[in-house]
Amino acid sequence: MSQKSPTFERDDIQLVKLFLGGYKDPAGIRYLLVERPDTVERTGKAIEAVAVDKHSHRLAVEHTVVQAFEGKRDDDVPFLTAFERLRLDKSLLMSNRFIDVACPTFAIPKGKRIVWKEVGEKVDAWFISARNELPTDGQRWHAIPHLGFNLNVLVQTRDLPGTEGVIVVSRILPSDRPFIDALRTALHNKVPKLVGTLADNHILLLEDEGVAIGFSQITKGVESSVEGLPELNKVDELWLVKTMGWKTSGHLFYSQVWPGGVTQRFKVADVRYSSRKAASNE
């Protein structure tokens, strides 16, 4: 018997469904998705999901992407095209070493003369030649040559005993585009319609597509936003899911980040991607 092909929903509703699959309320009760308001009201004024528990209590869930800085999505393609290959190429790993290559935001220019794939090839060549000279524990700025423009990256390394090694790529956030501005924009766009939905409890699910946002940043940012957005007091919980490795590993980690900081966490496997990865390794 042939296996049923996996269903691919919109990313936002898939993240909500996976969240509901692992979520339990403070009493340990689970919820089942019963309504998709945004499929009925298509003007952007309705939330993604309403779920109910065995007592018919209603839970409203809204999802939003929270950017580490304004303009992040415009910078994503050049940055990932140039640097993501370092993270994905297992042949570059160095045993027992953690290496973080941090690139300043908007450092890779746009324009017809700049081919981002070629920038990535030169970044790769630079790393191969430089990795054996990296400090064992510490950080150092490096200039990547032969690009036709100046590109300096901060490389941080430390010992990571007993591992095959880890390479991550990240961005140095711009000082003139603070994260709190991006967070407050997301909150003002989503919180009013969330708490305006008829439900017993309301949850806002924040998605971080990168690695630059810390849990404490979000908790403090939300706490500092309550005065300017009183509707936040009607939100019961804020959760964060980081999705940078979602479609390569198939795994997602959900963390409650407000109120009170990180108080709950759970891991969910998206079988659409985790099964694909397992099959590719056979």
Phi and psi, residue 30, nearest 5°: -95, 165
With cut-offs at 50, 70 and 90, classify the pLDDT of residue 74: confident
For position 126, what pLDDT does the model report? 95
Q: Is residue 62 within a helix (H) or strand (E), and if so which, with residue range?
A: strand 58-65
With cut-offs at 50, 70 and 90, classify the pLDDT of residue 6: low
With cut-offs at 50, 70 and 90, classify the pLDDT of residue 101: very high
Give the tens place of pLDDT for each residue, 161-170.
888 888 888 8
Residue 187: exposed, middle, or buried by beta-carbon count in 10 A (0-12, 13-18, 19+)?
buried
pTM beyond 0.85, yes or no? no
For position 275, what pLDDT does the model report? 61
Q: Is residue 183 within a helix (H) or strand (E), and if so which, with residue range?
A: helix 179-195
For position 165, what pLDDT does the model report? 87
Structural domain boundaries of the chain?
11-69+177-281, 74-172
Please spell the DSSP secondary structure of 137-180, one letter per residue. Answer: SEEEEEEPPSSSS--EEEEEEEE-TTSS-EEEEEEEPPTTS-HH
For position 146, what pLDDT does the model report? 94
